[in-house]
A and B are shown apart, each in its own frame.
Chain A
Amino acid sequence: MKNKSLLIHILRLVFIVICYMLYVTGASAQQISVFFTPILNEIAVKPGQSIDLQYRLNNNGDPAIIKLRILPFEPEGNSGNIKIISSLQSPIEFSLQHQEIQLEKPFFLQSSTSKQFNLNIAIPEYASGKDYYFGLVAETQPPPLQEGAVSLRSKTSVISKILLMVTKDGSLEIKPQINLFEVVPTHKINLFGMNVNLIDSLKPIPVVLSLDNIGNNLIKARGEIILRGPFWQSKSIDFKPKTILARSQRQTKIEFPGKLIGNYRLSANLSFGEGTPTVFASTSLTVLPVKITIFLFTIISLLLLYIRLMHKRYYTSID
Chain B
Amino acid sequence: MRKLIIIMFCFFFFAVSSFALELQSPRFRIEVGDVEIDKQAEKEVVYTIETLFGQGSLSKFNAQGFLVKKPQPNEGLEFTLSPTLLTIHPPFSAASQNQAIAISVTTQNQSGFFLNFIQEYKLKNLSGQTLDLNYGLTKDGPFYTLPNQNSGDSPTVLNDDNPNQPDSIYFRLIPPTHLQEGTFETILNFIIVPDY
Contact = CB atoms under 8 A, between A and B. Distances in A.
Contact of A81 (B15, B72, B99, B193): B193
A130 B107 CA distance: 30
Residue of B17, B54, B82, B88 with most chain A CB atoms under a 10 A cut-off: B82
A39 B171 contact: no
Contact of A151 (B48, B69, B184): B184
Contacts of A272: 51
B187 A26 contact: no
Main secondary structure of the interface of A (DSSP, over half): strand
Given A35-B77, A36-B77, A150-B131, 6 more contacts: A38-B76, A150-B184, A151-B184, A152-B186, A155-B190, A263-B15
Interface residues of B, number: 74
A280 B90 CA distance: 62
B77 to A, nearest CB: 5
Contacts of A56: 76
A39 B187 CA distance: 25
Contacts of A150: 87-90, 123, 131, 173, 184-185
B79 A275 contact: no
B86 A152 contact: yes
A35 B72 CA distance: 15
A57 B48 CA distance: 34
Contacts of A174: 47, 51
A156 B47 contact: no
Contact of B195 (A58, A76, A80): A80
Interface string A140-182: 1011011111111111111111000101001111100000000
B84 A43 contact: no
B78 interface: yes
12 contacts: A30-B82, A33-B78, A33-B81, A37-B77, A38-B71, A45-B65, A81-B195, A149-B183, A150-B131, A151-B186, A156-B79, A276-B47
A154 B101 CA distance: 9
Interface in A283-301: 284, 286
A159 B105 CA distance: 13
B87 A146 contact: yes
Contacts of B66: 43-46, 49, 51
A40 B49 CA distance: 18
Contacts of A53: 68
A26 B85 contact: yes
Contacts of B58: 170
Residue of A79, A146, A153, A272 with most chain B CB atoms under a 10 A cut-off: A153
B1 to A, nearest CB: 15
Interface of A: 25-26, 28-46, 48-49, 51, 53, 56, 58, 60-61, 76, 79-84, 135, 140, 142-143, 145-161, 165, 167, 170-174, 194, 218, 220, 230, 243, 262-263, 265, 272-276, 284, 286
Nearest to B52: A273
A263 B82 contact: no
B28 interface: no
Nearest to A81: B114
A165 B57 CA distance: 14
B137 interface: no
B7 to A, nearest CB: 14
A145 B89 CA distance: 13
A193 to B, nearest CB: 10
Contacts of B78: 33-36, 58, 60
A80 B71 contact: no
Interface in B145-196: 154, 157, 160, 171, 173, 181-196
A42 B69 contact: yes
Interface in B68-120: 68-69, 71-72, 74-90, 99, 101, 107, 112, 114, 116
Residue of A42, A60, A230 with most chain B CB atoms under a 10 A cut-off: A42
A33 B194 contact: no
B144 to A, nearest CB: 15
